[in-house]
């Protein structure tokens, strides 16, 4: 593992730990102790990262937002990985017409503009629990994984050890599960790590527009949305969630790139 990959992994681990532990030590993210005199305060021992326009503690909101934003992204990536893998394997392995139909389904999924679909669906569904939001994001993220896994499946189907398993009399399902499926996992792992960055940004973007995580619940994108009016007077309101987003997405990208380099060229 390269040094950059270690840095990426370390940052992701720290952010995850922050998302888990942070909300406990930071207190209520929605408390408004003194909206009149206590808003837009600079960082101080009482408020480590200052307060926002409603006098809410930014550290508490950042921690709460980390839990929600990272959980949404992780759920989205997991749902996309599981669903995409299953569909990709089926499309790559199914013979004849069934395989072609599944491939068309994947093409259809790829052709749909993800952000537009999400805007419509989320606007229609209204406010939802963040776990459900993660599932909805994942439900639009599977086509990329499915295409990847289908390609890997088609490639591995011609591997000599697959021919050996068939020659031994292994039924198609057994070949798929024992010989082909494990071979697709590295690609899925790489795609999911890189996809994590996408999902974080997607959730932030949707929350910024107002259809993702909605106020007063805290999310990094939502914090940016609420801070946009104060970019001149209280720029740290914008910088802090931005920094968190940049750290999370670049860490995921670094790790994903390193994983790709070490896992993709079949190491013997």
Partner 1 sequence: MLGGTGSGHLTTPLLEVAGLVKHYRTGGLLARTGAVVKAVDGVSFTVAPGETLGLVGESGSGKTTVGRTVLRLELPTDGVVRFEGTDLASLAPGELRALRRRMQIVFQDPFASLNPRRTVGASVAEGIEIHRLAPKREIPQRVANLLEEVGLDGSYASKYPHEFSGGQRQRIGIARALAVEPRFIVCDEPVSALDVSVQAQVLNLLLDLRDHRGLAYLFIAHDLALVRQIAHRVAVMYLGTIVEIGTARTVIDSPRHPYTQALVSAVPEPDPAKATARIVLVGDPPSPAAPPPGCPFVTRCFHPMKDERCVAERPRLRPLDGRDVACHYAEVNAVGGR
Q: Which residues bind partner 1 (CB under 8 A)?
A: 159-161, 163-171, 174, 178-179, 182-183, 266-268
Q: How far is the CB of 11 from partner 1 (least distance, A)?
A: 29
Q: How far is the CB of 243 from partner 1 (least distance, A)?
A: 40
Q: How far is the CB of 179 from partner 1 (least distance, A)?
A: 6
Nearer to partner 1, 161 or 239 (CB): 161
In this structure, are residues 99 and 176 in contact, taking their beta carbons and an 8 Å threshold? Answer: no
Place of tokens 């929605």: 30
Nearer to partner 1, 183 or 205 (CB): 183
Nearer to partner 1, 169 or 232 (CB): 169
Q: How far is the CB of 84 from partner 1 (least distance, A)?
A: 20
Tokens of 87: 């569909």
Nearer to partner 1, 19 or 188 (CB): 188
Backbone angles phi, psi at 167, to 5 degrees: -65, -30
Q: How far is the CB of 162 from partner 1 (least distance, A)?
A: 8
Q: How far is the CB of 153 from partner 1 (least distance, A)?
A: 14
Nearer to partner 1, 37 or 267 (CB): 267
Give the CA distances from residue 185 to residues 6, 84, 148, 189, 239, in Å, rounded to whole numbers and listed in that order. 21, 12, 11, 6, 37
Nearer to partner 1, 6 or 174 (CB): 174
């Amino acid at each position: 593992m390269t040094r950059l990959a270690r840095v990426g992994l370390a940052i992701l681990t720290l952010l995850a730990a922050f998302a888990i532990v942070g909300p406990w030590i930071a207190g209520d993210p929605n408390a408004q102790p003194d909206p009149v005199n206590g808003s837009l305060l600079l960082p101080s021992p009482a408020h480590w990262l200052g307060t926002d326009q409603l006098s809410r503690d930014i550290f508490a909101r950042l921690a709460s937002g980390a839990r929600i934003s990272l959980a949404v992204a992780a759920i989205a990536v997991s749902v996309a990985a599981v669903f995409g893998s299953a569909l990709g394997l089926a499309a790559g392995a199914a013979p004849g017409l069934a395989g072609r139909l599944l491939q068309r389904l994947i093409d259809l999924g790829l052709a749909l503009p993800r952000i537009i679909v999400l805007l419509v669906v989320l606007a229609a569904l209204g406010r939802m629990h963040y776990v459900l939001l993660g599932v909805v994001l994942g439900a639009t993220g599977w086509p990329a994984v499915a295409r990847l896994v289908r390609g890997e499946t088609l490639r591995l189907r011609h591997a000599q050890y697959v021919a050996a398993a068939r020659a031994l009399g292994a039924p198609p399902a057994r070949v798929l599960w024992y010989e082909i499926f494990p071979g697709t996992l590295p690609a899925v792992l790489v795609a999911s790590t890189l996809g994590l960055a996408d999902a974080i940004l997607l959730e932030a973007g949707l929350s910024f527009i107002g259809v993702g995580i909605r106020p007063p619940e805290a999310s990094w994108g939502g914090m940016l949305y609420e801070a946009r009016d104060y970019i001149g007077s209280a720029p740290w309101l914008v910088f802090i969630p931005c920094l968190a987003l940049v750290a999370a997405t670049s860490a995921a990208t670094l790790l994903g790139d390193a994983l790709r380099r070490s896992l993709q060229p079949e190491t013997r």
